[in-house]
C-alpha cells in the first residue's frame, strides 16, 4: 500500500511516499512558519511529522530510524499539545545524522565512502582517504548546525523559521557543492605517493 501513488504531478508522473516523504521533511520548517503566521496552534504541526514514520527501503542503521523518531516527536507533541516540541525537529535530525556519520568513522567503510562506491565501486585509495575526511567534515557541520538549531528553539518563531527553513538548507547546499568541487579535484589529481605504488 505504501508504494501506491498518492497523486499525480501535472506531467502525469505518480507521487509516491518515496518522493513525498523527503519533500515533506525539507518543507517542514516552512510549514511550521506558516502555522505560526496564520495563528494556528503550533502543536498541530505534530501531524506533519507523522508521515515521516514511513521508512524508505535501502536506508539502514541509525538513519533508517530517523523517520520513526521524528514521527514519535510529532505524536508526543500532539498528545501534550506542545507548541515547543515540533521546534526540536531540526535538532533531532542533526543529532541522528551526527551519530550515524560519527559511528561510521569507526567502521570499515564510512557513510560517505558507501555512497561514493555506488557511483565508483573501484574507489582508489586516495578516494577512500578523502571520503573519511568528508565524513568528519559533515560531523563538524552537524554539530554546528544542530547547536544553532537548538539555540533557535529559545528564540522567536521568526528566527527559528528563518534559520531552519532557509539558512540551514543554504549552508547544506554550500557543503554539497563545495565537497563536489573538491572531490573532482582530488580524484582527478591523485597523490604522488599513491601513483608511485
pLDDT reported for residue 184: 75
Q: Say how far apart CA 123 and CA 73 lie, in whole Å.
A: 39
- Tell me the residue range of the domain where 16 lies: 7-195
Does residue 117 lie in a domain region? yes
Q: Answer whether residue 44 shows pLDDT above 50.
A: yes
Q: Give tens-digit pLDDT for 122-148.
A: 888 888 888 899 999 999 999 999 999
Q: Say how far apart CA 176 and CA 44 lie, in whole Å.
A: 33
Q: Give tens-digit pLDDT for 10-38.
A: 455 444 445 555 566 666 666 777 777 77
Q: Specify the number of domains making up the chain.
A: 1
Q: Answer whether residue 53 shows pLDDT above 80.
A: no
Comparing C-alpha atoms, which of 162, 160, 157, 167 is closest to residue 37? 157
Contact 49, 86 (CB under 8 A): yes
Does residue 138 lie in a domain region? yes
Does residue 145 lie in a domain region? yes
Confidence label for 3 from pLDDT (cuts 50, 70 and 90): very low
Does residue 2 lie in a domain region? no
Q: Say how far apart CA 165 and CA 33 lie, in whole Å.
A: 8
Q: Which helix (H) or strand (E) holds 14?
A: strand 14-15
Does residue 131 lie in a domain region? yes
Does residue 12 lie in a domain region? yes
Amino acid at each position: 500500500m505504501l508504494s501506491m501513488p498518492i497523486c499525480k504531478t501535472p506531467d502525469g508522473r505518480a507521487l509516491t511516499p518515496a518522493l513525498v516523504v523527503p519533500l515533506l521533511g525539507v518543507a517542514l520548517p516552512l510549514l511550521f512558519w506558516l502555522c505560526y503566521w496564520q495563528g494556528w496552534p503550533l502543536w498541530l504541526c505534530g501531524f506533519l511529522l507523522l508521515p515521516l514514520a514511513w521508512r524508505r527501503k535501502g536506508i539502514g542503521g541509525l538513519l533508517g530510524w530517523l523517520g520513526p523518531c521524528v514521527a514519535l516527536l510529532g505524536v508526543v507533541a500532539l498528545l501534550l499539545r506542545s507548541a515547543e516540541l515540533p521546534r526540536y525537529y531540526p535538532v533531532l535530525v542533526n543529532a541522528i545524522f551526527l551519530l550515524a556519520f560519527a559511528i561510521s568513522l569507526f567502521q570499515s567503510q564510512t557513510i560517505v565512502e558507501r555512497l561514493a562506491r555506488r557511483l565508483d565501486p573501484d574507489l582508489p585509495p586516495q578516494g577512500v582517504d578523502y571520503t573519511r575526511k568528508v565524513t568528519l567534515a559533515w560531523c563538524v557541520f552537524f554539530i554546528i548546525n544542530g547547536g544553532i538549531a537548538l539555540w533557535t528553539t529559545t528564540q522567536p518563531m521568526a528566527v527559528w523559521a528563518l534559520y531552519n527553513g532557509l539558512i540551514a538548507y543554504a549552508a547544506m547546499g554550500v557543503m554539497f557543492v563545495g565537497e563536489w568541487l573538491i572531490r573532482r579535484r582530488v580524484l582527478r589529481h591523485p597523490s604522488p605517493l599513491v601513483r608511485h605504488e
